[in-house]
Amino acid sequence: MSAAEKAIRNAAFEEPSAAAVDGFIRNFGRTAATYVESCIHCGMCAEACHFYEATRDPKYTPIWKIEPLKQTYKREYGPFAPLYRLLGLKKKVTEAQLAQWQELIYDSCTLCGRCSLICPMGIDITRLIADAREGMAQAGLAPAELQQAARRARVSGTPSGEPVSAFVQFLKSIADRHGIEVPVDKSKAAVLCTVSSSEVKHYPDAVAALARVMNHLGVDWTFSSRGYEATNAGIVAGDLASQKASNGRLIEAAVACGATEVILPECGHAYAALRWMGANLHGSSLPFRVLHVSEFLAEQVTEGRLKLRPLEDTVTFHDPCQVSRRGGATEAPRVVLQALGVNLREMNPTKGTNWCCGGGGGVVSIQRADPLRQRAFEIKIEQVNATGAQYPVVSCATCRRTFDDGAARHHWDKKARNLLELVAQQLQ
C-alpha cells in the first residue's frame, strides 16, 4: 500500500471515530459524569446480564460495554483530562476500537436495565449504553439493520418502509377477514390506537384483537394514517432524529383527532420512547395520556367495564423489560391475568428482576447476533420450565418473536401466548 493510499485509509478511519467521540462528549452532562466517576468495578452488573450469565465471558460485563465512552470522558471531559492527554494515559478512541465495541454496545445489550437495577452505586448503566449508541449512530457505526430501519422510519414513518397506503389496506384486510369494524382517520376520536411493525408483519391477529376489544367496550377510537407506527427504530439504533420523528408523527396524529389517550401496542421500546421520553423530545408536556395496552386493559378491568370468561389454564408471565423494569407497568398485566381466571405461576426471579428474553434493544433484528441471543434465551427456557406452567404469556411483540424463534431453535414445546389475544378470545 502506497503512502497516499495509507493516508486516505487513515482519514477514512479517523472521521467516524471523531464523530463518535463528538457524540459521546455531547451526551456527557453532570449525571453521566457522576456515573462514570462512581463505578467501583465491583462486577455485580455482570451477573445481572443475561449475555454474561449465558456465556461467562468477561467482555459481556455491562460496565465494560461502555469502555469507549469512559475512555473518551476521561481523556476529553473529566477533571484530569489534560493530565491524561499530556501523559498519554488515555488514548484516542479509534475506528478499530469502535468496530470491536459495536458488538458489545448493540449485539450483546438489549437495554433491559437489569444491570442498572442491581448496581450498588446507583449507576444507570443502561442509560450510558444508550448514550454510547447515540455516539455510534452519529458516526454511522450502528449495525446496518438498525441504521436502515431508523432511516426508513424517519422517511416513511415505519421501519419497514411500507407506504401509508399499505397500512390502510392492511387494516381493511383485517376488517374483512375478521368481520369487524376497524376505524381509520376519524376526524374526532377520544382514543388513538397504534400498532407495531412486528404485529403488522408477524402477528396481524393481535391488531384484530385490539379492534375487537375496543369495539366490545364501545370506545370512541381510531387508527390514523398520519401516525400509526409505534415501533421506534430510532431509540434502539441511537438515532435521535429518527426517534423524534417517529414520536412526532404519533403526537401530530393524536392532536389532529383530539385524542385524550394514545394506546401503545404490545411493544416495549415504543412505550419507553413515547411514554417516558416523548415529552422531552417534543419540548413540552404531551396533551394526552399514553398507555401501554396492558395498562388500558387493566383500567377497564378495575373499573368494571371489561369482563372476561375464565380461562382456567396454568400460565406464567414474562415481564417485558421496557414496560415492567424500565417502565413501571408491572402489575397491569397481572390484573388482566387475574380477570382471566388463570392459575399464574410466577417465574423466579419475576416482575422487575425478571430475566430479559434476549431479543430487545434491536438485538432480534441483528442477524450476526443470533447465536448469542439463542444462548441467552436458554435462561428463559429454564425459568419457564421451572414454573410447570402450560405456556408463557407475553405482552410485547418483540418478546413474542424471541419466544417463537427460541422455541423453534431449541425444539421447545412451550408456545408463548399473547395477552391481548387471550382477552379478545375470552370477552363476555
Q: Find cell 422517511 and name the residue.
A: 155
Residue 125 predicted with pLDDT over 60: yes
Q: Give the per-residue pLDDT at 99.
A: 84
- Asked if pLDDT for residue 13 goes beyond 50, the answer is no
Whether 159 contacts 229, CB under 8 Å: yes
pLDDT of residue 3: 45
- Where residue 6 falls among pLDDT bands split at 50, 70, 90? very low
The answer on pLDDT for 59 being more than 50 is yes
What percent of the chain is modeled with pLDDT above 70? 96
- How confident is the model over 347-393, as pLDDT tens digits? 999 999 999 999 999 999 999 999 999 999 999 999 999 999 999 99
3-class DSSP state for residue 311? coil
Cβ atoms < 10 Å from Cβ of 316: 24
pLDDT digit string (tens) for 240-261?
A: 999 999 999 999 999 999 999 9
Phi, psi (degrees; rounded to nearest 5) at 331? -85, -25
Question: What's the pLDDT at 8?
Answer: 32
**Nearest-angstrom CA–CA distance, 77 and 75:** 6
The cell for 247 is 414520536
Average pLDDT over residues 9-26: 61
The whole-chain average pLDDT of the chain stands at 93
Higher-confidence position of 426 and 31: 426
| Selected residue with higher pLDDT from 5 and 417 | 417
Q: Which residue has the higher pLDDT, 52 or 15?
A: 52
Strand order across the 289-292 sheet: 221-222, 191-193, 261-264, 289-292
CA distance linking residue 1 with residue 315, whole number of Å: 63
Find how far residue 299's CA is from the centre of its chain: 23
SS3 label, residue 184? strand
**pLDDT band at residue 15 using 50, 70 and 90 as cut-offs:** low
- For residues 195, 197, 199, 204, the Cα torsion angle rounded to the nearest 10 degrees is 90
Residue 14 has pLDDT above 80, yes or no: no
Q: What is the pLDDT of residues 250-291, one digit of tens each?
A: 999 999 999 999 999 999 999 999 999 999 989 999 999 999
For the chain, how many residues are written?
Answer: 428
pLDDT at residue number 100: 87
Could you give the domains of the chain?
A: 3-141 (1.10.1060), 157-299 (3.40.50), 305-425 (3.40.50.1860)
**Three-class SS of residue 418?**
strand
The whole-number pLDDT of residue 32 equals: 84
Identify whether the C-beta of residue 200 lies closer than 8 Å to the C-beta of residue 231: no
Region 149-165: what's the mean pLDDT? Answer: 95
Task: Report the predicted TM-score, pTM, of the whole model to 2 decimal places.
Answer: 0.92
pLDDT for the residue 4: 39
- What is the pLDDT confidence band of residue 408, given thresholds at 50, 70 and 90? very high
